[in-house]
Amino acid sequence: MKRLLAAMALVLTAVATPAIAEGQRNALVTIDPAGRDAVQKQGFGGYVLVELRGKPVFSKGYGYADREKKIPFRIDTIAQIGSLTKSMTAFAILSLAREGRLDLEKPVKTYLPGAAEPAASATIHQLLTHHAGLTDHCGDDFDPLTKETELHTCMAMPLEFKPGTDHYSNMGYSVLAAVVEQVSGQSWEDYERNHLWQPLGMKDTGFARFDGVKPERFAYGYPPGKPRDDLVSNSIAKLHGADWNLRGNGGTQSTVADMERYYRALSGKSPGIPRDVAAQMTAPRDLIEGEAWEGYGFAVRLDKNNKPYRIGFAGSDEVFMSYFGWLPQQDVFIYVVGNNGWDNVKPVISTVLHAAYNLAGITPDMLQPQKK
């Protein structure tokens, strides 16, 4: 799944919620016009959610999840979240480490005996922070790829970058998914369902399996100028387990409501994610650029006092695009998802993120200057 860092903005639609101050309300006024304009001009289908201190201050769907059947995009529409999947793989790794079943500083070959070099010598930490030097991928999303080929052919590919430098790798997170399976004795999807999705009440989140869910619950992707895409879960199911170009790094589908449950657990508002695991996921680890740092599955940006002012990540397959963002100091959460091409969704995200900054009172003088 394509990497899109959180230098983008967010847009939300107003909902009847607890009263907010007039100045806060004014901070959100740019969102709805941007969303409606995107529907009219590009056929935007999606949803915008903004919360302040755990209460929604903007929540609205736009356009269609299914244009052909004219099914609107709702808070419970199941849509692809792309690389937001990576944070869930990071959760699984950290949970196993918390139980003493793996060590983040050990090379991956400790847990995947027989895995090919040079990737086998990368540490779990390096894979989590995209600092292992691996190539981005070992094929396109729906190219058949078995676990055996992943471990013995893809991991044998020469490193593209010097270990210890930041270069994004989808393949690295698929290797981590293999570690999860080896150490836990469960499939990656079963581990996520049993330890994350079900405990948090994320009943509409999944990878290849959505047993009993009606087709009209899903959002379809609409590449500009092309026929609509099939559901990603259908495409994954057709691979019959040879889905390792996506497993652990992308392809998950979820609802806005489920992703809000995920945020609540990460922020400590509800149980389900141990506080030490959440802290590990959202702490700055290795520098990306400027004031941005790799966390474990998230990107973290620091203010001029070296405190995180924004935690989040974006995911896209170039058709769907989603953004999960959290401004921890002001307790603002933003989530945006769209289904009509990332170039059309990015401006909506940008508008929403700027609105969230205004809501939070974040100004440029509070942030670290960009380093060249």
> Is residue 317 domain-resident?
yes
> Is residue 155 domain-resident?
no
The structural domain count of the chain equals 1
Structural domain of 326? 2-77+218-223+251-366
> Is residue 240 domain-resident?
no
Residue 48, domain CATH: 3.40.710.10
> Is residue 275 domain-resident?
yes
Q: Which residue has the higher pLDDT, 277 or 9?
A: 277
Position 1 scores a pLDDT of 54
> Is residue 63 domain-resident?
yes
Are 230 and 319 contacting, i.e. CB atoms less than 8 angstroms apart? no
Position 289 scores a pLDDT of 75
Q: Quick check: 12 pLDDT over 70?
A: no
> Is residue 30 domain-resident?
yes
> Is residue 309 domain-resident?
yes
> Is residue 209 domain-resident?
no
Tokens 């999606």 locate to 46
Tokens of 215: 């087709």
Are 334 and 357 contacting, i.e. CB atoms less than 8 angstroms apart? no
pLDDT, one tens digit per residue, over 16-68 is 334 556 666 788 999 999 999 999 999 999 999 999 999 999 999 999 999 99
d(CA 290, CA 78): 35
d(CA 127, CA 29): 41
Q: Quick check: 9 pLDDT over 50?
A: no
Share of the chain above pLDDT 70, in %: 92
